[in-house]
Structure 1
């Protein structure tokens, strides 16, 4: 495969397209299979190579991406905790729209957790509310490695910090 074809496959992988669709897309760009200069198997193998490379680093890339967003967008809030093997144990994020929604409609909110539905078996927690048109709006979101009191205490304190509130929960409170 040429370097241009590898760049193409890398870009279409972001769109969740596999090697076969990338190969067919490349064929469409060049109007015929004989103009591709690589096989469908070459494209599939390169997608597998990308997956095997990112497999061990995807959590790190996820955190680095969020750190970069935080550095380039002052209104983006992001915080995280690492576990003993330096993997994300807890991640919270809220963008400017989420924070604005909370300031306008945060009198009542719901924190809803979904369990083990992703490949990392992390708990996804969404903070939502309702606007004056009775539409659901998001105030923030988190991923947690476990459901322990310490994790949820960190999450709610981080949520309050992100949205400008000051109370701190200790985990000892009733």
Structure 2
């Protein structure tokens, strides 16, 4: 069930709002805000990691396209995909702030300066210390996370009741499994 924004009638008055109009607007605003934030951080990450910057660029553009497309109404299968993709992005964000991910560049002071190469070493020869790949939490990060959370909740509200129930159950089970996995990894 796709929801669209009401149109202006021939008499000039606005038609009655559709039941999901507020959710469409909230989802579009969340997608637009998250997209802009992802695009804003691209230049700052480019020198550190081109693949990470390309990821931010792709996500930001996709979120801006999504913000524009939400007003036209999207099929339920696409809405489920939007929810799934954004939950994955939010999970990656949380992991990058709590786990030493191997594909994130190191953030400790020793990796900020140039060193002579060491024969046979990987990279510049400086060891990567545990925790040096955990990203710091920033204000823009949290704003983006909140915008994506608003987007996910609003898009879930646009789904038909039966599909919404299935998606919320899957999301709750995924959250419990993520917490259990995190507890297991720490022990």
User: TM-score, normalized by length of structure 2?
Assistant: 0.24
- Greater share of helix residues, 1 or 2? 2
- Greater share of strand residues, 1 or 2? 1
Larger RCO (CA within 8 A; separation ≥ 6): 2
